[in-house]
Structure 1
Amino acid sequence: MKILILKLGYSETLDPEMGKIVSLGDVVRCTVILEALKNKYKDANITWLISQEAFPLIVDNPHINRILIWDEFVPFALMREQFDMVVNLEKIHGVCALADMIQAWEKVGFRFDVLSGDYSAYEKSKSATSYIAQKASGEIQHKIWQQVLVEMVGCEWRGQEYSLGYSPTTKERVQVGLNYQVGSKWPTKAMKNEKWDALAKMLENNNISYSYQQGMQNLYDYMDWISGCDVLVSHDSLGAHLALAMKKSVIILFGATTGEEIYYYNRGISIYPKVKKVAYECLPCYNPTCIKNIHCMDFIDLDDILDNVKGFLKDRND
């Protein structure tokens, strides 16, 4: 079974967003389909087309037989190669058109709509486009992303794990990692630095070792840093998904987005701002720009974070 996965990271798979900035966290989330495909197709030979920026996230992955890095020549070669199955998890129109032109017996994920010039979905994946549209309009309860992705490619959801190929080198071990930065796509996900500093002081007062986020200029260094943390406190970002992939305990802070879409594998918890719904009816807004005078993330309760940190550390020591 020869399978091609198209996932470069230029669009959030199950959100309306599309752009030129690679969403690294979304690439990690999509690795959940690898275990599902390998279990369904025992002889699966998987090729993954990836962006240069996201390559470290799938390098040496045991489920992937071949990695292709996107350039101006690769699409022409793929259009001449035969596959049994194409899995397109990119909504970018050009990639959808490429998926349509690749020779394969079966196709799932997104396709190009020749009438509208927009993305659509192959028949088996139409539930994904319905989910995106309903979620954008606020008409649907949020579903677990991992489950939607697994079912989108025609497999059964069984709690499949994220899959990371790189083996991190732990350079410093601490009890808590403070993953305080966010990507440029979603500045509204961030809790202000003053609150992170206050949290660090609380950890120090409780004799809990911690480290601020490191390695952001190099993905390998970043993964090495996460590997040295017992518990990661993070915004809704790449680090949170990497920590889950490494089977770390994770505390994720939410405001503009929601944790209802994340399956934690019994290793994590979501923390939300303590605000009155009537005053912050916009939550979750999925908007990179905040319309409120006081940002929702200013209402994150640091005591909640500390209590959960202690709980996770206790579980690790028992």
Structure 2
Amino acid sequence: MAAQPSTAPLRAPTPSVTGQPTASPVALSPIPLPDSLNYIGLFLTLECNLNCSYCINDPQQLGRRNALFPMDGKSARKGLTPEQWVAALRRLPFRPGLPITLQGGEPMLYWGGQGLGLILSQVPHYFDLLTNFALKPEVFARYLNGQQAKLQRDAPYPSIRVSYHADEMNRAWNGRGFEALVARCEALRDYGFRISPRKADSDVGIYMVEHPQNRVTAEMKAAYEGRVPFETKEFLGVHDGKLYGRYLYPFSTDLIARGIYPTTLQCECRTTELLIDPMGFVWGCHYYLYEGWSHGGPLREFAALEQEGFRYARHGARIFAGRAMAPVGHLLDPDFAMAELEVFRPCKQYGRCIGCDTKIKNDRFQSYYDRGIPHTSVQIRNIHMPADLLGQIDNLEQTRRFFSATAKEATPMNNALPAAAARKRVLIIKPGYGETLDPDNSGMVSLGDILRTTVILHLFPPQDYHVTWVVDQKGVALLKGNPFIDRLLVINPFTPHLLLSEWFDIVVNFEREPGICAVSDRIPAWRRYGFRLDAQTHTAVCYDHADEALSFTTDAEAKRRKAKSWSEILYEMLGHRYAGQSYVLGYQPRSAISHDVGLNHLIGHKFPLKRWPEPYWQALHDELATSYSVDWQQGANDIEDYIEWIAGCRLLVTNDSLGLHIALGLGKPVIALFGPTVAGEIDGPNLTRITPPLPWDCIPCVESSCSQATPCMQHIPVQMVGAAVRAQLSRQA
């Protein structure tokens, strides 16, 4: 029995005998596997020595195998090095009943034939091998480096499953293809393998696909009987307009191939298998994997990801931005977790599914034959089935549960969609529990942070985007009626369950609370921005473009010295350049201007140091009241009343608080007083910033307590503020 692998953190390999470049060493922790995982498929290479007319790697079965996966270009790097595979596979826990299935292409060709032995000798797992026996038996055995036991396990079928391809093998072996294949299998007995005509007692067996053009001849039967196991396997797909195989989801494989519908359909899907391509990318289904590798594969993307230490969760969206089909992760990503496979993701290719993904079959627990529970490699839901196809489905009542609630209204992908469906779906997660660029973890709702996040809404014009915003109940009044927001989702204990049942084109998460990050990461989406969860440390980390923003929450000095506004940083987190866009208020006040100056003197409980002393406010009132109409802050207990009061001010004098952001959102001239907070974070066309005229290095301290004898806000003179008010009102006049 193979030994249990160590649970100590591993490290990605550095160059050794292979001479191949690899990333710098990065600690790699084991990846827990769910008990329900049914299959681990490792495509060591997609190159093959045969060019069969029928090949599962050629989704449309057009005889293009050599064109899609050419054998030339030997200098091009087309797979992980053996050292990298060892580092990746050692992350997977050893399970005797869950082998790693090596396939391709032809896996015997990997690394010049020597790759299998190099990998098997360094990992504890059992392996299955799907092969056409490209190497001679003695060469294959020599390259295994004595690792035969890794291909021998207690199972009801052979671990080495050899496929027979009549046309190609008869061509290669002078018309004696099947006899030569049987002889090669039998010869493995001399190299430590069990060979028996009973498949349960044999390490090797021969299989042939039941393609309509394939026949089991009398000569073949005479060749294998009493020597090696031989079986036929169900042909899956379309041949001469006929569909072969039994499938759970209607038209999943033949919608396009049989001309049933002119375009593919939308759906959501997830895999029950761990599918790994030659570069270590993890894919959501066989179709995406094969199409992702057609005509060369993601070689440039791999090179870019390698430069980033294989951190696909952080950089994958950017690196694969130009590709229609992208993987779900990478096995050398320190942050990769099997939870990525549990997410239902939006797909626009329903109707081109590979037969092995949607056929009804057993899982490794015999669920179908023993309990009548159909298993498929890919689970699919919310299929946008056109109404005119429903009448062609024989088992409509049994399969209706897989269709979207609006299936009767579904339309083909290339036709004009209804306006709402044509818009991209965006989810913004900003309930306000933690300020985006502050190390705040108080859990108190920051209404100001919610409001200033609305600046990003300009990136999602209503004619092109359908926006859902997740918000705390306290923030609803700020966002209600916002012309950019289609749905306000007030957060409650059931909100995560609702979001996990939906899908979005874009998810923006500006909350760092680990529980929120964990839910956000699992919501089906094409693109993600902001913060995510580190599966190892259970803390918030960031997606592309948000590294600087995250640093401000952990490095007080970086936050103090930053030279960018809050709005500018939010735009950069989404990969855009800020150009002076304003906040977008939901509530639209009706008040006319009723007084010249509003004194917004109150402050929230979270940061009392921001408040200018009350006697100073009174002195300012008395000074200004001789020349202007001055009013004290109103609406402290009602957001709408508060907005109406600010709307009635010609100019607002304010602490660094919610009122400051509301006034900027309304386009008001503002005199803002800053001390412990960063004045440069706020900008606006009519904003005047006043800071304490002090040489103190601690300003701004970004702290909730003061180390000085008197807080800095007490050093802002009333006369300075009064002069700024008079100057601003003179300019307005």
Partner of 1:237: 657
Q: CA deviation at 1:131?
A: 4.0
Find 2:544's aligned residue among 117, 123, 134.
123
Counterpart position of 2:488: 67
CA contact (8 A) 2:439 2:552 kept: no
Q: Deviations over 1:49-94 (max 9, x none)?
A: 0000011111100011111001111110101101111000111111
CA offsets per residue over residues 169-225 of structure 1, 9 Å max, x none? 3277110110001111100001111110000010013x1111111110111111111
User: How far apart are the structure 1 equivalents of 2:642 and 2:572?
Assistant: 31
* Residue identity matched to 2:730: K
- Displacement of 1:137 after TM fit? 5.0
Structure-to-structure mapping, 1:1-318, within 5 angstroms: 1-38=424-461, 43-136=464-557, 140-170=561-591, 173-205=594-626, 207-264=627-684, 266-277=685-696, 281-317=697-733
Q: Counterparts of 2:554 and 2:563 in 1: how far apart (Å)? A: 12
Cα distance in structure 2, aligned partners of 1:148 and 1:102: 24
Q: CA deviation at 1:162?
A: 0.5
How far apart are residue 292 of structure 1 and its match?
A: 1.8
CA contact (8 A) 1:175 1:208 kept: yes
Q: 2:592 & 2:651 partners in 1: Cα distance?
A: 16
Partner of 2:484, secondary structure, is coil
AA matched with 2:678:
T
> Structure 1 counterpart of 2:653, which letter?
V
SS at match of 1:208: coil
Report the Cα distance in structure 2 between the residues aligned to 1:251 and 1:229, rounded to whole angstroms.
12
Q: Matched residue of 1:178: which SS?
A: strand
Greater alpha carbon shift after TM alignment, 127-136 vs 62-71: 127-136
> In the alignment, residue 297 of structure 1 is paired with which amino acid?
M
Q: How far apart are 1:154 and its partner, in Å?
A: 2.2
Structure showing greater radius of gyration is 2
- What is the identity percentage for the equivalent residue pairs of Structure 1 and Structure 2? 38
CA distance in 2, matches of 1:211, 1:304: 19
Give the AA of the match of 1:202: E
Give the CA deviation at 1:42. Answer: 5.2
**Structure 2 CA distance for aligned equivalents of residues 229 and 105 of structure 1:** 44
After TM superposition, the score normalised by the length of structure 2 is: 0.41
Is this contact kept in 2: 1:37–1:155, CA < 8 A? no
Q: Deviations over 1:101-139 (max 9, x none)?
A: 111011000101111111111124223213434444568
SS for the counterpart of 2:474 is coil
Q: Secondary structure at the match of 1:123?
A: coil
Q: How far apart, in 2, do the equivalents of 1:305 and 1:226 lie?
A: 19
Larger relative contact order (CA 8 Å, sep ≥ 6): 1
Amino acid at match of 1:275: L
Contact map agreement 1:191 1:298 (CA 8 A) in 2: yes
* Matched AA of 2:446: S
Residue pair 1:36, 1:156 contacting (<8 A) in 2 also = no
Kindly provide the amino acid, as one letter, of the partner of residue 566 in structure 2. Answer: W
The one-letter amino acid paired with 2:443 is: K
Aligned-partner Cα distance in 2 for 1:166–1:272: 31
For residues 679 and 573 of structure 2, the distance between their equivalents in structure 1, rounded to whole angstroms, comes to: 20
Q: Aligned pair in 2 of structure 1 residues 199, 35: CA closer, same or farther (>3 Å)?
A: same
> Partners of 1:97 and 1:136 in 2: how far apart?
29
1:283 maps to amino acid: I
What's the C-alpha RMSD, in Å, of the aligned pairs?
Answer: 1.6
1:4/1:47 contact within 8 Å kept: yes
Judged with a 3 Å threshold, the aligned counterparts in structure 2 of structure 1 residues 229 and 87 are, in CA distance, closer, same or farther, namely same
Secondary structure of the residue that 1:155 maps to in structure 2?
coil
Structure 1 distance, partners of 2:562, 2:490, is 36
Q: What is the rounded CA distance, in whole Å, between the counterparts of 2:683 and 2:425 in structure 1?
A: 29
Cα deviation, 1:223-272, whole Å, max 9, x if unaligned, reads: 111010011100000000000000000011011112111111x2111101
Name the SS of the counterpart of 2:507 in structure 1: strand
Give the unaligned 5+ runs of structure 2: 1-423
Aligned partner letter, 1:10: Y
* Whole-Å separation in 2 of the counterparts to 1:192 and 1:139: 23
Letter in 2 for 1:233: V
Deviation at 1:302, TM superposition (A): 1.5
Q: Secondary structure at the match of 2:521?
A: helix
Cα pair 2:601 2:654 within 8 Å, conserved: yes
CA distance in 1, matches of 2:456, 2:597: 29
Change (3 A) 1:233 1:87: same
TM-score of the superposed pair, with normalisation by structure 1: 0.93
